[in-house]
Amino acid sequence: MMPGPKPLSVTLSEKQRGLLEHLSRRQTSPQRLVRRVQTILAAADGLSNEAIARRLRLCRDTVRDWRQRWQEGAEALDAAEAAGDADKVLLARIEALLDDAPRLGSPGDFSAEQLAQIISVACESPEDSGRPVTHWTPRELADEVIKQGMVPSISPRTVGRFLKGGRSQAASLDLLAQSSARGGP
The answer on 136 and 80 residing in a single domain is no
Domain limits for position 46? 14-97
Whether residue 43 lies inside any domain: the answer is yes
| Band of pLDDT at residue 84, cut at 50, 70 and 90 | very high
- Give the integer Cα–Cα distance in Å for 44 and 66: 12
Per-residue pLDDT tens over the stretch 24-42: 999 999 999 999 999 999 9
Answer yes or no: is pLDDT of 2 > 70.
Answer: no
Q: Of 45, 72, 97, at which residue does a domain stop?
A: 97
Q: Of 74, 97, 120, at which residue does a domain stop?
A: 97
Domains of the chain: total: 2
**Higher pLDDT pick, 172 / 110:** 110
Specify whether the CB–CB gap between 124 and 177 falls below 8 A: no
Q: What is the pLDDT of residue 4?
A: 66
Rg (CA), the chain: 27
The answer on 80 and 38 residing in a single domain is yes
Per-residue pLDDT tens over the stretch 3-12: 667 888 999 9
The answer on 93 and 25 residing in a single domain is yes
- Give the integer Cα–Cα distance in Å for 110 and 158: 10
Per-residue pLDDT tens over the stretch 48-74: 999 999 999 999 999 999 999 999 999
- What pTM was estimated for this model as a whole? 0.57
**Higher pLDDT pick, 6 / 165:** 6
Answer yes or no: is pLDDT of 166 > 90.
Answer: no
Whether residue 158 lies inside any domain: the answer is yes
Answer yes or no: is pLDDT of 171 > 70.
Answer: no
- Give the integer Cα–Cα distance in Å for 162 and 158: 6
| Band of pLDDT at residue 1, cut at 50, 70 and 90 | low
